[in-house]
Structure formats: structure tokens, C-alpha cells
């Protein structure tokens, strides 16, 4: 297939519509499956400013991106992020349909109302245990502020989903308690298979709790019905005809066939895939774009279109070829 002149489409015909922006790599948590033991934070002065990020988002929305997700590190640790979300509202006139955030929930008692007022459409909150001791073990932080944050987000009227990463022998004991809790709270819950994106590259396949294993744990307690799959990467299962649980099984059933996502790090590196061995550094062009340079606009158009075009078919194609661990992990890519 020939590369088309201008659109965010890859060689497999997958149009990119979703852009994830990491606004910081910093985080107050130290999740076992994400943060390195000794994180080396990006220099704060090296991050793209919100003006730069706004210019980039506008550029991307004008070319077909219709959904933005703000992530991190912990996005609520970056000063000014709520105001940034407010500013992004003006891109709806250009075709932006959805502004979302992924957060660990710790600061939500402070920010939930402001996020709602700023026009946030969706909020994903990570919660890997409802047992406070295990939560502490997993994140090195307390559970109580997160539960209070979730309650504040519900109170504020935000649309919430709970995301849980499972690790074999660590928190697979939480499958049933989390389902019971989320069902009782009437909150959508999605389990995510542990991916080889941890900061210290310690991932091993046997640590993954697979979709099948999750279903095996649920089966004695619920009547399970698989629902037809839509565009989302999660497979949805209806429990007792009343409550839906999602499972994102990147490892056991990669969902790459329809992938419409790309990602930008806080320092302006674009990744065409979570598992891409390399991104492209766009910081200087994005800064020039924000300063209204037409040359930068043309360069960005060309470089991004070409990079997206060569996106690989998916996780298995990349993982099979990977020889050395990458320098980038989930706390920089944002999930």
C-alpha cells in the first residue's frame, strides 16, 4: 500500500483517532508493575509547556484525532493540568469529541469538582486492590485517599471507569473482592493483563494473570456471558445478567488489529505503539509550531505521517523481534 499524502493512517489501514498525552513522568505512587526502583525523573524544564501541548493537540485534531487522554506519571501532579483541560474545550469546534484522563485517584478529593467543571468527559482510575495492606504493598501508598477520591469523583458527576492490573501471586486474590466492590459501587471495572512495560524490565510471562484465569476465578460465583466485541480493546463479560466486567488481554489475545492510538511523552516524543522500540523526538518542531512556524507545521506533518505509516502490526510482531530492553516504560508512556 502507498503512503497517503496527509492523514494519520498506517500501512495496515488503521486510522489514528486517539492521542494520549503524558504531561509528566512523575508519580507519588510506586506501582510494582510500572515504576522503576530508582526513577530518574525528566528535568521539569525539559517538558513541553501547556502552550506547546495545546498547539500540538490543535494540529492533531485538525488532522483527524478526535479523542485526547491526559495521563502521566500522575497527571494531577502537574500544576496547571485542570486549566489545560479547560483550554482543550475550544478544540471541540474543530472535531474533538472526547477529553479523558487516567489517574491513580490520590488527588481527586482536591480536583474532582474542578475536573468536572473543566469539561472532562471520562476518568479512568487505577485501583489494584481493595485490601489496604495489599494496596500499600503494591503502590507504597495508602488506599484510603484513593477510595475517598473515587467517592469525590462520583459525587462530582464524573464518568468513571476502574482499571486493575493483575500480577500472578500478588493481587490475583483481588479479582473477586474487586468485582464485588465495583458492582456494589455501580462502577465499570476492567482487568488489564500485566504487560512488559515495567520500569526495571523484570516482566515475566508467568506473572501475567490471563483472561482465561480471570474467567476461571469468576465462573464458580457468577453466570458469565461474553458480549459481542465493539471497537474497544476490552472484551466485555456480563455477570449474572446484571453487571459487566471488561478484560484487556494484550498478552493472551492482543487487540492490535484495530489500534487507533498514538502517544506523546511529556518531552515531546511520539510513539506509534506502546511497544514501539523507538519514538520520534518532536519537541523542537512542536515548540516552533506553537510559535506559529509554517516550516515546523510542514515538517511535523511529514515526519508524523511517515512514522505512523510504518507502525507495526502489533504487540506480537514487535515482541518477537525485541532484542534489548527499551529505555522507556509505562510511567513515561502513560498507558
Task: Judge whether 326 is annotated as a binding position.
Answer: no
Residues with Cβ within 8 Å of residue 100, at least 6 apart in sequence: 67, 68, 69, 70, 120, 121, 122, 123, 124
330 binds ligand SAM (CB under 6 A): yes
314 binds ligand SAM (CB under 6 A): no
Query: Would you list the DSSP string of 9-53?
Result: B-TTS-B--EEEEE--S--S---TTTS-SS--PPPGGGSPPHHHH
The stretch among 26-34, 226-234, 262-270, 309-317 that binds ligand SAM (CB under 6 A) is 26-34
207 binds ligand SAM (CB under 6 A): no
58 binds ligand SAM (CB under 6 A): no
- HSE on the CB side for 296, CA within 13 Å? 16
210 binds ligand SAM (CB under 6 A): no
Both ends of the chain: CA-CA distance in Å? Answer: 30
Q: How far is the CB of 308 from ligand SF4 (least distance, A)?
A: 25
Which of 61, 82, 85, 192 forms a contact with ligand SAM (CB under 6 A)? 192
Which residues of the shown chain bind ligand SF4 in the complex (CB under 6 A)? 27, 29-31, 34-35, 72-74, 104, 126, 330-331
Which of 24, 58, 67, 104 forms a contact with ligand SAM (CB under 6 A)? 104
Per CB under 6 A, contacts with ligand SAM among 125-144 are: 126
> How many C-beta neighbours within 10 Å does residue 268 have?
21
Which of 165, 245, 264, 266 forms a contact with ligand SAM (CB under 6 A)? 165
- HSE on the CB side for 173, CA within 13 Å? 9
CB 125 within 8 A of CB 101: no
Query: Would you list the DSSP string of 252-299?
Result: TS--GGG--EEEE-TTSEEESSTT-S--EE-HHHHHHHHTT-HHHHHH
Task: Judge whether 132 is annotated as a binding position.
Answer: no
The item of ligand SF4, ligand SAM, none sharing an interface with residue 35, based on CB under 5 to 8 Å by kind, is ligand SF4
Q: How far is the CB of 333 from ligand SAM (least distance, A)?
A: 7
Cell matching residue 69 = 487522554
Question: Using CA atoms, how far apart are residues 18 and 334, in angstroms rounded to an integer?
Answer: 13
- CB closer to ligand SF4 out of 49 and 140: 140
The item of ligand SF4, ligand SAM, none sharing an interface with residue 279, based on CB under 5 to 8 Å by kind, is none
The item of ligand SF4, ligand SAM, none sharing an interface with residue 112, based on CB under 5 to 8 Å by kind, is none
CB 240 within 8 A of CB 222: yes
Question: Using CA atoms, how far apart are residues 326 and 200, in angstroms rounded to an integer?
Answer: 10
CB 27 within 8 A of CB 107: no
- CB closer to ligand SAM out of 105 and 268: 105
Task: Judge whether 27 is annotated as a binding position.
Answer: yes
In the annotated binding site for [4Fe-4S] cluster, the residues are 27, 31, 34, 256, 259, 273
In the annotated binding site for GTP, the residues are 20, 69, 102, 161, 261-263
Binding site for ligand SAM (CB under 6 A): 27, 33-34, 71-72, 74, 102-104, 126, 163, 165, 192, 194-195, 197-198, 330-331, 334-335
In the annotated binding site for S-adenosyl-L-methionine, the residues are 33, 73, 126, 195
Amino acid at each position: 500500500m502507498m503512503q497517503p499524502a496527509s492523514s494519520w493512517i498506517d500501512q495496515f489501514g488503521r486510522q489514528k483517532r486517539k492521542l494520549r498525552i503524558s504531561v509528566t513522568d512523575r508519580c507519588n505512587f510506586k506501582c510494582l508493575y510500572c515504576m522503576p526502583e530508582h526513577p530518574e525523573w525528566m528535568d521539569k524544564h525539559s517538558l513541553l509547556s501547556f502552550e506547546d501541548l495545546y498547539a500540538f493537540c490543535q494540529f492533531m485534531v485538525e488532522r483527524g484525532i478526535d479523542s485526547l487522554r491526559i495521563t502521566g506519571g500522575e497527571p494531577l501532579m502537574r500544576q496547571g493540568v485542570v486549566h489545560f483541560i479547560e483550554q482543550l474545550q475550544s478544540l471541540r469546534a474543530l472535531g474533538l469529541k472526547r477529553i479523558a484522563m487516567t489517574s491513580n485517584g490520590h488527588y481527586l478529593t482536591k480536583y474532582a469538582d474542578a475536573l468536572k467543571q473543566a469539561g472532562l468527559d471520562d476518568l479512568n482510575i487505577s485501583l489494584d486492590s481493595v485490601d489496604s495492606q495489599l494496596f500499600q504493598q503494591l503502590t507504597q501508598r495508602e488506599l484510603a485517599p484513593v477510595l475517598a477520591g473515587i467517592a469525590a469523583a462520583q459525587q462530582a458527576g464524573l464518568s468513571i471507569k476502574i482499571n486493575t492490573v493483575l500480577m500472578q501471586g500478588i493481587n490475583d486474590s483481588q479479582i473477586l473482592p474487586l468485582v464485588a466492590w465495583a458492582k456494589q459501587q455501580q462502577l465499570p471495572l476492567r482487568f488489564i493483563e500485566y504487560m512488559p512495560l515495567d520500569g526495571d524490565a523484570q516482566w515475566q510471562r508467568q506473572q501475567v494473570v490471563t483472561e482465561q484465569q480471570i474467567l476461571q476465578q469468576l465462573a464458580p460465583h457468577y453466570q458469565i456471558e461474553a458480549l459481542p466485541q465493539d471497537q474497544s480493546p476490552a472484551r466485555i463479560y456480563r455477570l449474572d445478567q446484571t453487571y459487566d466486567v471488561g478484560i484487556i488481554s494484550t498478552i493472551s489475545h492482543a487487540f492490535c488489529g484495530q489500534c487507533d492510538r498514538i502517544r506523546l511523552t511529556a518531552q515531546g516524543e511520539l510513539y506509534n505503539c506502546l511497544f514501539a522500540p523507538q519514538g520520534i523526538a518532536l519537541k523542537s518542531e512542536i515548540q516552533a509550531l506553537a510559535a506559529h512556524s509554517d516550516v515546523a507545521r510542514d515538517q511535523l506533518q511529514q515526519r508524523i505521517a511517515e512514522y505512523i505509516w510504518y507502525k507495526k502490526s502489533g504487540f506480537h510482531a514487535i515482541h518477537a523481534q525485541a532484542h534489548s530492553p527499551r529505555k522507556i516504560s509505562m510511567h513515561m508512556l502513560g498507558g
